[in-house]
Amino acid sequence: MNHQEALTSYIAAFVSELVKNGVEDVVVSPGSRSTPMAMIMAEHPELRVHIHVDERSAAFFALGIAKASRKPAAILCTSGTAAANYFPAIVEAKVSRVPLIVLTADRPHELRDVGAPQAIDQIHLYGNHVKWFVEMAPPEHSAGMIRYARTVCARAAATAKNSPAGPVHLNFPFREPLIPHLERDDLFELTERTGEYVSIQPGELTLSNEQYEEIGKRISSFTNGMIICGPIETAQFSDAVIALAEKLQFPILADPLSQLRSGKHSGEYIIDTYDTILKNEKAKKALKPDVIIRFGAMPVSKPLTIFLKEHQDVYQYVVDGGGGFRDPGMVSSEMIYCQETEFCRSILPFIERENESLLLAKWQKINGVTRSHLGKINALDELSEGKLFYQLAKLLPSGATLFVGNSMPIRDLDTFFHFNDKSISVMANRGANGIDGVISTALGAGTIQQPLYLALGDLTFFHDLNGLIAAKQYGIDINILLINNNGGGIFSFLPQASHPKNFEQLFGTPLDLKFQYAVEMYGGHYDLITDWEHFSTVMNQNKEKSGLKVMEITTNREKNIREHRELWEDVTREISRLLEDEC
Amino acid sequence: MNHQEALTSYIAAFVSELVKNGVEDVVVSPGSRSTPMAMIMAEHPELRVHIHVDERSAAFFALGIAKASRKPAAILCTSGTAAANYFPAIVEAKVSRVPLIVLTADRPHELRDVGAPQAIDQIHLYGNHVKWFVEMAPPEHSAGMIRYARTVCARAAATAKNSPAGPVHLNFPFREPLIPHLERDDLFELTERTGEYVSIQPGELTLSNEQYEEIGKRISSFTNGMIICGPIETAQFSDAVIALAEKLQFPILADPLSQLRSGKHSGEYIIDTYDTILKNEKAKKALKPDVIIRFGAMPVSKPLTIFLKEHQDVYQYVVDGGGGFRDPGMVSSEMIYCQETEFCRSILPFIERENESLLLAKWQKINGVTRSHLGKINALDELSEGKLFYQLAKLLPSGATLFVGNSMPIRDLDTFFHFNDKSISVMANRGANGIDGVISTALGAGTIQQPLYLALGDLTFFHDLNGLIAAKQYGIDINILLINNNGGGIFSFLPQASHPKNFEQLFGTPLDLKFQYAVEMYGGHYDLITDWEHFSTVMNQNKEKSGLKVMEITTNREKNIREHRELWEDVTREISRLLEDEC
């Protein structure tokens, strides 16, 4: 068996097993050393091969596919700095628990650390930021090594998927010549077995019946409880947690990424303005619970994080099916390692409400008042970042996916995007909250979910401009709401804003770019939004258009902060008045 | 002493020491966690603070500054994926031995691995790809901890500079509040000592007099030797190696990055067309030496690499002041760990030529013929990648810096850019040979060296499009020669080119972008070159213009490979004829 045949059989076995283990998409960045894997992947009839020249964007694109499909996506690149460009998306995948299979081609052992071109140390290249690293054996054709390629592949896919999901990294040393032998009928054949070579059944963390009973009873014994749902994407969780809230008569403070703010379920228990409410000290006192059950990652709301932290004396449950420790305030009383949907369903039979709670009604009332007062933003004539997110609940079509950038968009979404029954799926890169790779992640998600809307600021848009190439090359439909306040809007909300010296240079960082040029370069459709009527018209017209569509909304950072502060002051006065009336 | 004062004193001591240790430039990417360091840096009167929103480009920009200035440059970013974006440039800095001081802000210990926002594991974030990592102690004001901040800083700068130079990484945990107290006169004052707090004298590897004598005598005993200079930037090396070549009567095969192909020194010993010559098997036999002395990183030429590898029986010296092992062919006979300039000077007194060599004359003759035949490319009427590099030796002004992209530009430069007396400094990212970060590295170099020319292909241009923002924001003068063959030209030279199925999708990867839009977005001056006269006119006109200037030269990948092959076949026939005549 010669080199070429060994290379071909070994890699084909790997690629075949990849598909059998549920991988449907691979994002390939062009390169020489990765040639055998790339050429064999392109031959597989069931694998979608996406090409992306910029590895940083490529990895985020795959992240988006995996986030939206909840299936591991693979990425492949050549040796050298190409692989280092994957790092930001890998870090995000690890923290946000998204399954990613990272495949890097490498020089063979004899060409490492000897000054060979494009050779860098790729062993454990991503350190702790992947769940599993394997330095693959050089390709060999023996039955044993084919078995090895298949089982490592199956383990990689299973490890990526297993809770907490995350990235895995396999490094492949390839010797020249790199061209595989593709003129074979049996390229992906597995004769000795049917289905995948080895099937790995993923387990989930669960509790014993005794534990469920004990916890259920204990929770029932509290009087005033509340549920907090941070970013979470566990299947069927929404229904399960609403059923639990109903039985407990607890309000649910629902983060915009909890998937609870939109949907056909009842909105009765959903509290969607807590970020504003909890800016009011009186409200914090009035709304204090004696027990909190928290699900998902940490919510975006800083007032809520502070609220949690200030209430060490409240019994706080944190339920985490991924076995992490999501508690920056160090205030959890019980950390429960159990799949979240399973937890809600399994404690339900053990819930028996002993004491009637007034907390739900209080939250509902204050939430209602706050929601309607925040709605005043809709009366603004001028273009406004807050109003944009308020409008979205109305203007987005049901079934839409709304991807939001970090910094201000996710915060404005939190404040202004209120409960609606439209089944809008909300996504963001909230693992490490970076402003990088957002366009690519959204576009990756857009290959799975449509229609797709992306709302992001100008710095975030700029950071991943290269990501737009995927929209052009693959004709992916995307509606981008580019909120251009010419710089970093969030810093105006931070303490450095009161130190004007060097502020614009270090934090404001205006880019003064006409993004219309970029949109034209990528063959997109561009509109500079002039007013709200125009916005609504363009939103509607764009539904009929395909490909890349960018709506630019220009705002002003200083006016924006004033607008937010005035509204919050107004609302908080209203909340205080309401609470005084109650007393 | 409160938190704010401790934070301020500790960081100001660090920044003060940074400047005292020769750091003049820092590239800052905006962020919240890095606020204290950024604000204090902006206060230092002797530190140039460059702002760059995209951390990937920012790090390459700093790499370019450090490459050109041969002084460590610093980069600063906030916590999270921002820091991961630095990775490609750090990898390149390590392999290409460029001093870089990487400063990352981090969450304090209590906010790590507990789901806090923008918190990732930054300990040893870059693994083996930095020379030194320090997890800094949290800011404190005690005399001991101020001393600590200063000494770690001095060590970081020294470690980055010490041979082999490279990147170091310091990770700073910062607790809120993050605003330093800047209203102090003594911010950067060091009262107890003058100059830097601790001065670190860098040593260089050298040999004993006995070793120099032994090596000098041994080298003298060979009959037919040659010197090979790969990429090298050691100060005063050019003169030292030419003096050595003169005494030895050895030819110097000079890589385009050896800094020997241009300059006021004599070109008598410089062989600049070996890449073409060594494609000819007869020439390889006729030009075989009995000893080789090699300096610098591995040359770009593949025929030369093969030539070295095929000659295990030739006594091969490799001189490396950085103590590496740059020998992918595993053919070195002696690895000499000694600073290169020092080595050339110190063995010189011990060189006594015993036997007259014919090898120098042979190389000179064949080189002359090859050079003049390669010059035929200049007769082409059509736009051509090869001719472009041939023309550059004529069109570039003396004193220019020519930065070249990897893949084809550096190879075309190797083939067509011949010896000239113009003092042209040639630069490239030849550590890991990536196509990433090239625009930014060139722009960073452009803040130190002018006039600046950058020749690169369309994929490389695309990969770092964001890098152009620095040209716009800082008004850096740069002349970009954008060679647009709409895809990856180098793959046409590789074996996969004979497998047309999927070739364009996987390797050709045409982007079909009108880059003029990008140039306009960044406020640059754009010319689409129509013919050679136009090129020469625009090159001249642009000398009078400032800022970003892009000249786009469109070529065709298929025609390009034909053109190269035909010329090489022609030249190799000529070389064979010459060798037959000699016999």
Q: Number of residue pairs across A and B with CB atoms under 8 Å?
A: 244
pLDDT of residue B79: 97
C-alpha pair distances (Å), B44 with each of A374, B16, B194 = 44, 8, 17
Interfacial A residues in 498-557 facing B (CB < 8 Å): 499, 501-502, 505-507, 509, 511-515, 517-518, 520-522
Q: How far is CA B440 from the centre of its chain?
A: 12
DSSP tally for chain B: helices H, then strands E: 22, 18
Using CB atoms, which residue from B81, B178, B469 is nearest to A92?
Answer: B81
Closest CA to B126 of A84, A59, A161: A84
Which phi-psi region, left, alpha or beta, contains residue A355 (left: φ > 0; alpha: ψ -120 to 50)?
Answer: beta
Residues A308 and A440 placed together within one structural domain of the fold: no
Tell me the shortest Cα–Cα distance from B439 to chain A, in angstroms: 14
Token reading at B192: 């107890």
Q: What one-letter code names the amino acid at A234?
A: T
Structural domain count, chain B? 3
DSSP tally for chain A: helices H, then strands E: 22, 18
Segments of B5-71 assigned E as strands: 25-28, 48-51
Cβ-defined contact of B81 to A437 (cutoff 8 Å): yes
Tell me: pLDDT of A228 over 90: yes
Cβ-defined contact of A437 to B511 (cutoff 8 Å): no
pLDDT of residue B73: 98
Using CB atoms, which residue from B125, B179, B432 is nearest to A120?
Answer: B432
Question: Is A580 in the B-facing interface, judged by CB distances under 8 Å?
Answer: no
Residues of A in contact with B433 (CB under 8 A): 80, 117-118
- The domain that holds B155 is classified in CATH as 3.40.50.970
The DSSP line for A10-73 is HHHHHHHHHHHTT--EEEE---STTHHHHHHHHH-TT-EEEE-SSHHHHHHHHHHHHHHHSS-E
Residues of B in contact with A309 (CB under 8 A): none
Residue of A49, A91, A174 to mutate when probing chain B, most B C-beta within 10 A: A91
Angle subtended by helix axes A3-20 and A35-43, to nearest 10: 50
pLDDT of residue A109: 97
Domain end (from A109, A142, A173): A173
pLDDT per residue as tens digits for the range B514-528: 999 999 999 999 999
Distance from C-alpha of A360 to C-alpha of B473, rounded to nearest angstrom: 53
Mean pLDDT (whole number) for B430-434: 96
Beta bridge partners of B157: none
Query: Is B472 part of a structural domain of the chain?
Result: yes
Tell me the shortest Cα–Cα distance from A338 to chain B, in angstroms: 17
- CB-based contact B37:A447 (threshold 8 Å): no
- Cα angle: A190, vertex A192, A197; to 5 degrees: 60
- What residue has token string 């007769």? B379
Element of type H or E holding B175:
none
Tell me: pLDDT of B195 over 90: no
Tell me the shortest Cα–Cα distance from A304 to chain B, in angstroms: 13
Using CB atoms, which residue from B42, B463, B502 is nearest to A42?
Answer: B502
Distance from C-alpha of A542 to C-alpha of B203, rounded to nearest angstrom: 65
Tell me: pLDDT of A355 over 80: no
Interfacial A residues in 201-240 facing B (CB < 8 Å): none
Closest CA to B203 of B157, B240, B163: B163
Interfacial B residues in 443-502 facing A (CB < 8 Å): 459, 462-463, 465-466, 469, 472-473, 488, 490-491, 494-496, 499, 501-502
Distance from C-alpha of B446 to C-alpha of B452, rounded to nearest angstrom: 6
Residues A250 and A169 placed together within one structural domain of the fold: no
Query: Is A284 part of a structural domain of the chain?
Result: yes
Mean pLDDT (whole number) for B95-100: 98
Residues of A in contact with B28 (CB under 8 A): 506
The DSSP line for B375-409 is GGGGG--S--HHHHHHHHHHHSPTT-EEEE-TTHH
Element of type H or E holding B568:
helix B557-582
Residues of B in contact with A174 (CB under 8 A): none
The mean pLDDT of chain A is 96
Exposed (0-12), middle (13-18) or buried (19+): which is B318, by Cβ within 10 Å?
A: buried
Q: Give the three-class secondary structure for A105.
A: strand
Q: How far is CA A83 from the centre of its chain?
A: 22
Q: How confident is the model at residue A583 (pLDDT cuts 50, 70, 90)?
A: low
Residues A152 and A227 placed together within one structural domain of the fold: no
Tell me the shortest Cα–Cα distance from A465 to chain B, in angstroms: 8
Tell me: pLDDT of A1 over 80: no
- The domain that holds B271 is classified in CATH as 3.40.50.1220
Distance from C-alpha of B47 to C-alpha of B41, rounded to nearest angstrom: 7
Tell me the shortest Cα–Cα distance from A44 to chain B, in angstroms: 12
Residues of B in contact with A114 (CB under 8 A): 325-328, 330
Distance from C-alpha of A247 to C-alpha of A578, rounded to nearest angstrom: 28
Cβ-defined contact of A509 to B30 (cutoff 8 Å): yes
Length of chain A: 583
Query: Is A187 part of a structural domain of the chain?
Result: no
- Cα angle: B15, vertex B16, B20; to 5 degrees: 115
The mean pLDDT of chain B is 96
pLDDT of residue B226: 97
User: b or e along B503-542 (b: 16 or more beta carbons within 10 Å of the residue's beta carbon)?
Assistant: beebbbbebebbbbbbbbbbbbbbbbbeebeebeebbeeb
- Could you check whether the bond before residue A139 is cis, i.e. omega within 30 degrees of 0? no
Q: How far is CA B4 from the centre of its chain?
A: 41
Using CB atoms, which residue from A28, A300, A506 is nearest to B42?
Answer: A506
Distance from C-alpha of A295 to C-alpha of A227, rounded to nearest angstrom: 8
Query: Is B526 part of a structural domain of the chain?
Result: yes
SS (H, E, C) A430-450: CCCCCCCCHHHHHHHHHCCCC
Distance from C-alpha of B484 to C-alpha of B510, rounded to nearest angstrom: 10
Residues A425 and A539 placed together within one structural domain of the fold: yes
Query: Is A576 part of a structural domain of the chain?
Result: no
Find, in chain A, the residue whose alpha carbon is nearest to that of B467: A463
- CB-based contact B509:A58 (threshold 8 Å): no
User: What distance, in Å, lies between the first and last C-alpha atoms of chain A?
Assistant: 87
Q: What one-letter code names the amino acid at A19?
A: V
Q: Could you tell me which residues come within 8 angstroms of residue B490 by beta carbon, excluding any fewer than 6 positions away?
A: A32, B407, B408, B411
Q: How confident is the model at residue B235 (pLDDT cuts 50, 70, 90)?
A: confident
Interfacial B residues in 3-62 facing A (CB < 8 Å): 28, 30, 32, 35, 38-39, 42-43, 49, 51, 53-56
> Domain containing B415: what range?
380-567
SS (H, E, C) B78-123: CCCHHHHCCHHHHHHHHHHCCCEEEEEEECCHHHCCCCCCCCCCCC
Q: How confident is the model at residue A483 (pLDDT cuts 50, 70, 90)?
A: very high
Mean pLDDT (whole number) for A68-81: 97
Q: What strand order describes the sheet that includes B315-319?
A: B270-271, B252-254, B225-229, B291-295, B315-319, B334-336
Tell me: pLDDT of A157 over 90: yes
Distance from C-alpha of A563 to C-alpha of A573, rounded to nearest angstrom: 16
Residues A84 and A149 placed together within one structural domain of the fold: yes
Token reading at B515: 């880059």
Closest CA to A44 of A61, A24, A63: A24
Distance from C-alpha of A90 to C-alpha of A83, rounded to nearest angstrom: 11
Pairing of strands A315-319, A291-295: parallel
Exposed (0-12), middle (13-18) or buried (19+): which is A420, by Cβ within 10 Å?
A: middle
Among A346-350, B142-146, B189-193, B445-449, name the one with the lowest average pLDDT.
Answer: B189-193
Tell me: pLDDT of B1 over 70: no
Residues of A in contact with B85 (CB under 8 A): 56, 87-88, 436
Tell me the shortest Cα–Cα distance from B117 to chain A, in angstroms: 6
Residues of A in contact with B491 (CB under 8 A): 30, 32
- CB-based contact A115:A107 (threshold 8 Å): no
Tell me: pLDDT of B583 over 60: no
Using CB atoms, which residue from A80, A94, A499 is nearest to B179?
Answer: A499
Tell me: pLDDT of B74 over 70: yes
Residues of A in contact with B121 (CB under 8 A): 127-129
- CB-based contact B554:B528 (threshold 8 Å): yes
Residues A168 and A277 placed together within one structural domain of the fold: no
pLDDT of residue B333: 98
Residues B347 and B393 placed together within one structural domain of the fold: no
Closest CA to B428 of B120, B95, B128: B95
Closest CA to A25 of A49, A55, A45, A41: A49
User: b or e along A129-163 (b: 16 or more beta carbons within 10 Å of the residue's beta carbon)?
Assistant: bbbbbbebeebbbeeebbebbbebbbbbbbbbbbb
Q: How confident is the model at residue A241 (pLDDT cuts 50, 70, 90)?
A: very high
Residues B341 and B476 placed together within one structural domain of the fold: no
Element of type H or E holding A267:
none
Distance from C-alpha of B455 to C-alpha of A150, rounded to nearest angstrom: 44
pLDDT per residue as tens digits for the range A173-226: 999 999 999 998 889 988 888 888 999 999 999 999 999 999 999 999 999 999
Tell me the shortest Cα–Cα distance from A350 to chain B, in angstroms: 30
Q: How confident is the model at residue B209 (pLDDT cuts 50, 70, 90)?
A: very high
pLDDT of residue A327: 97
Find, in chain B, the residue whose alpha carbon is nearest to that of A474: B511
Residues of A in contact with B111 (CB under 8 A): 328
Closest CA to A408 of A488, A476, A464, A290: A488
Query: Is A202 part of a structural domain of the chain?
Result: no
Cβ-defined contact of B39 to A496 (cutoff 8 Å): yes
Residue of B39, B49, B87 to mutate when probing chain A, most A C-beta within 10 A: B87
SS (H, E, C) B204-243: CCCCCHHHHHHHHHHHHHCCCEEEEECCCCCCCHHHHHHH
Radius of gyration of chain B (CA): 26
Residues B322 and B290 placed together within one structural domain of the fold: yes
C-alpha pair distances (Å), A429 with each of A54, A90, A113, A436, B405 = 19, 12, 36, 9, 33
Using CB atoms, which residue from B327, B494, B514 is nearest to A114?
Answer: B327
Cβ-defined contact of A325 to B114 (cutoff 8 Å): yes
pLDDT of residue A67: 97
pLDDT per residue as tens digits for the range A522-579: 999 999 999 999 999 999 999 999 999 999 999 999 999 999 999 999 999 999 999 9
Residues B410 and B341 placed together within one structural domain of the fold: no
Query: Is A94 part of a structural domain of the chain?
Result: yes
Element of type H or E holding B430:
none
Cβ-defined contact of B51 to A509 (cutoff 8 Å): yes
- CB-based contact B531:B383 (threshold 8 Å): yes
pLDDT of residue B548: 98
Residues A26 and A169 placed together within one structural domain of the fold: yes
Residues of A in contact with B300 (CB under 8 A): 117
Token reading at B119: 């918190």
Tell me: pLDDT of A354 over 80: no
Tell me: pLDDT of A56 over 80: yes
Residues B215 and B297 placed together within one structural domain of the fold: yes
Query: Is A281 part of a structural domain of the chain?
Result: yes
pLDDT of residue A582: 72
Element of type H or E holding A316:
strand A315-319
